Chains A and B, each alone.
Chain A
């Protein structure tokens, strides 16, 4: 079984590593202004969540080289194809110009330092979401390389992601046969909960699930999938056991309030089934395996989940990334069939 891992996080090993990819003015700026690495509070480098203890090297960062990813992720988990989602804090910057320079640098660095070094790897395009116009340019630029299979956004943004403001990004993705991946994390331009800034990292990470819930609401209610019926959006590291309850609520309100959004002509449950996918890890699982089977039953679809390890994040112990309670048949769907059906570019030949 040629497992497809939809969420692997390469670390930019150091501030200097990107310098060769920041030409001219921007390379100078980074040095003269004394900039630090672009790490966000979503994953503080030493936090127990950010890397499994056994994946922390004695020197340097976890997941900072192809060798580490091969030895700790691709080989032990039998990954035939792995999609890299680089979580470098490009989205947090306030300057559009600086953001595009960093986005280009990260994408070029991923292509040269990762994709060129292992045929099993694919990647998501980091975009300067601060400017939709520049984001579309970056998608167009990177899409020529068929090893980029997805556009990467974060769950926390300036505006809800369904808003018309962002639609040119979705049009560009659809045009190039790219999925749009929305990953846990935020640009932190808004408080990370709907009731303000929390005190603890624990709350911040828990709150990612609520961020995804509101993004799902926004994407559906604004009509993104009416405009782009074939667009696939993948929620990455979102958790997914909350999905049934959220859809029950959203669908109830859709029944009562659909006259407000008449372009949404299918129930939210149906839209999720055709257009939205979720990475497997983390599974915020009930205490017993029977409970997980009930949740899978509530999902009412075996096509929604896509396998992921979330390497090197610390989400499971030992060598088994699968939560208890998933049948071999469903594993096959999640590990192979569903990702293939989701990522059109995985089925294309890479030149």
Chain B
């Protein structure tokens, strides 16, 4: 959250813990930012039509955000442009300010989820170039996520192959609200390519796959959509597990991003219980659902659940494992978790280092200075 409602103790940057931020959102300054990498056909298409995304509004969401671009009011770059659009201001305000030594970029406005398959592919390719040349080139602390036209798994696989091993791309990123549950076979070629390239697949909450955000249709409010991403992500993850993608692709690693994480233990218990009763239906599963989850899935922390008392969250983390969580702020969005306030709990120094930095370094194979 971005408005100070009570005085907070300022910590000098030099004494702040070095952290990873596994969910940073770079934004485009203008609608023409991608032009250098978009063929003329698609620049014309963008100007004339825009993009169909299984979403009725031509511009902007039908659940208006709580503030412009769902972003912090203090994150507008001094040189102009929207929040999160300036590499130098992001470096100063966020990376320097919070001692972020490893930052993972997750571009949300891309070709992902665009219905026109060729336009989707062209936009994804352009956004990957833009990440590489505008962001990764500007700051060595930043790492990229390959965006892919995930509804067309063969094209998505080709995009993964194109970027794998190139530059500082450390994962594939897709959006959670897919057209079918994510374990569905139509997505398997994408998972195969990611596993072959040894890249984790990050499933970031949001997107529009066509289905309502609840299994009972469309709710009324933005707060329901935001809260509902947790349920939507539970369904996607259940599908991945029950369809057997971790049996099929044993090297596959999945990161659930911006979905919350405290729901993971009870989902695992429920999956195990139902699986035991209905086991004859899923003979392709060789391990329990909770085993697949424990061995193949990571979670970013923001928006971190906030029980009262906060100590209850320690039980949740114990159940999940201290090695599973990747700290994230969601900069520059309004629901930013401030690293100095995010985990006000008594934990060991080793746990704090895992949570804020080491788990990310290990998952992404990145050494930080």
Q: Are A203 and B181 in contact (CB under 8 A)?
A: yes
Least distance between A347 CB and chain B CB atoms (Å):
32
The answer to whether A251 has its CB under 8 Å from any CB of chain B is yes
What residues of chain B lie closer than 8 Å to A244, measured between beta carbons?
262, 307, 312
Question: Which of A160, A210, A285 contacts B269 (CB under 8 A)?
Answer: A285
Q: A198-B181, A221-B219 are in contact. Are A214 and B214 (CB under 8 A)?
A: yes
What residues of chain A lie closer than 8 Å to B273, measured between beta carbons?
282, 284-285
Question: Which of A162, A245, A282, A286 contacts B305 (CB under 8 A)?
Answer: A245
What residues of chain B lie closer than 8 Å to A260, measured between beta carbons?
66, 221-223
Binds A, one of B71-79, B129-137, B192-200, B224-232: B224-232
- A246 to B263 Cα, complex, angstroms: 7
Least distance between A56 CB and chain B CB atoms (Å):
14
Q: Are A241 and B266 in contact (CB under 8 A)?
A: yes
Interface residues of B in 199-231 (CB under 8 A from A): 209-224, 226-228, 230-231
The answer to whether B182 has its CB under 8 Å from any CB of chain A is yes
Q: A203-B242, A248-B262, A282-B273 are in contact. Are A195 and B226 (CB under 8 A)?
A: no
What residues of chain A lie closer than 8 Å to B277, measured between beta carbons?
48-49, 314
What residues of chain B lie closer than 8 Å to A68, measured between beta carbons?
none
Q: A195-B180, A195-B211, A221-B223 are in contact. Are A48 and B228 (CB under 8 A)?
A: no
Q: Are B182 and A194 in contact (CB under 8 A)?
A: no
The answer to whether B334 has its CB under 8 Å from any CB of chain A is yes
- A100 to B368 Cα, complex, angstroms: 66
- A237 to B239 Cα, complex, angstroms: 21
What residues of chain B lie closer than 8 Å to A222, measured between beta carbons?
220
- A209 to B270 Cα, complex, angstroms: 9
Least distance between B176 CB and chain A CB atoms (Å):
7
Q: A163-B220, A190-B216 are in contact. Are A210 and B275 (CB under 8 A)?
A: no
Chain A residue nearest to B176 (CB atoms) is A195
Least distance between A317 CB and chain B CB atoms (Å):
11
Report A308-348 CB contacts with B as 1/0, cut-off 8 Å.
00000010000000000000000000000000000000000
Question: Which of A202, A254, A287 contacts B275 (CB under 8 A)?
Answer: A202
Least distance between B67 CB and chain A CB atoms (Å):
10
Q: A205-B278, A210-B231 are in contact. Are A194 and B223 (CB under 8 A)?
A: no
Interface residues of A in 186-213 (CB under 8 A from B): 186, 190-203, 205-207, 209-211, 213
Least distance between A217 CB and chain B CB atoms (Å):
5
The answer to whether B57 has its CB under 8 Å from any CB of chain A is no
Least distance between B223 CB and chain A CB atoms (Å):
4
Chain A residue nearest to B334 (CB atoms) is A256
What residues of chain A lie closer than 8 Å to B303, measured between beta carbons?
249, 252-253
Q: Are B305 and A207 in contact (CB under 8 A)?
A: no
The answer to whether B177 has its CB under 8 Å from any CB of chain A is yes
Interface residues on B, range: 35 or more
What residues of chain A lie closer than 8 Å to B155, measured between beta carbons?
none
- Total interface residues on A, using CB and 8 Å? 71
What residues of chain A lie closer than 8 Å to B306, measured between beta carbons?
248, 251-252
Least distance between A348 CB and chain B CB atoms (Å):
32
What residues of chain B lie closer than 8 Å to A155, measured between beta carbons?
215-216
Q: Are A249 and B227 in contact (CB under 8 A)?
A: yes
The answer to whether B179 has its CB under 8 Å from any CB of chain A is yes
What residues of chain A lie closer than 8 Å to B242, measured between beta carbons?
198-200, 202-203, 206
Q: Are A158 and B66 in contact (CB under 8 A)?
A: no
The answer to whether B235 has its CB under 8 Å from any CB of chain A is yes
The answer to whether A29 has its CB under 8 Å from any CB of chain B is no
The answer to whether B44 has its CB under 8 Å from any CB of chain A is no
- A223 to B260 Cα, complex, angstroms: 25
Question: Which of B181, B230, B271 contacts A196 (CB under 8 A)?
Answer: B181
The answer to whether A47 has its CB under 8 Å from any CB of chain B is yes
The answer to whether B282 has its CB under 8 Å from any CB of chain A is yes
What residues of chain B lie closer than 8 Å to A160, measured between beta carbons?
214, 216-220, 224
The answer to whether A28 has its CB under 8 Å from any CB of chain B is no
- A320 to B314 Cα, complex, angstroms: 31
Q: Are B269 and A194 in contact (CB under 8 A)?
A: no
What residues of chain A lie closer than 8 Å to B214, measured between beta carbons?
160, 190, 194, 211, 214-215, 218
Which residue of B179, B214, B222, B267 has the most chain A CB atoms within 10 A of its CB atom?
Answer: B214
Q: Are A203 and B230 in contact (CB under 8 A)?
A: no
The answer to whether B171 has its CB under 8 Å from any CB of chain A is no
The answer to whether B265 has its CB under 8 Å from any CB of chain A is yes
Report A9-41 CB contacts with B as 1/0, cut-off 8 Å.
000000000000000000000000000000000
What residues of chain B lie closer than 8 Å to A285, measured between beta carbons?
269, 273
- A331 to B221 Cα, complex, angstroms: 38
Q: Are A195 and B227 in contact (CB under 8 A)?
A: no
- A197 to B186 Cα, complex, angstroms: 13
Q: Are A257 and B223 in contact (CB under 8 A)?
A: yes
The answer to whether A224 has its CB under 8 Å from any CB of chain B is no
- A193 to B274 Cα, complex, angstroms: 16
Least distance between A208 CB and chain B CB atoms (Å):
9
- A87 to B241 Cα, complex, angstroms: 29
Question: Which of B178, B274, B312 contacts A206 (CB under 8 A)?
Answer: B274
Q: Are A157 and B217 in contact (CB under 8 A)?
A: yes
- Please name 27 pairs of A and B residues whose Cβ atoms are closer than 8 Å in the assembled complex, sorted by A: A155-B216, A163-B219, A190-B216, A193-B239, A194-B214, A194-B228, A194-B235, A195-B232, A196-B181, A198-B235, A199-B183, A199-B184, A200-B243, A202-B274, A202-B275, A203-B235, A203-B238, A206-B242, A207-B235, A210-B232, A217-B227, A241-B266, A241-B269, A242-B266, A249-B303, A261-B221, A291-B319
Known: A196-B179, A214-B224, A257-B222. 17 other contacts (CB 8 A): A163-B220, A194-B213, A195-B211, A199-B239, A201-B281, A207-B238, A210-B235, A214-B216, A214-B231, A218-B216, A221-B224, A246-B230, A248-B306, A256-B1, A258-B223, A286-B319, A291-B319
Footprint of B on A, CB under 8 Å?
47-49, 155-163, 186, 190-203, 205-207, 209-211, 213-215, 217-218, 221-222, 239, 241-242, 244-246, 248-254, 256-261, 269, 282, 284-287, 291, 294-295, 297-298, 314
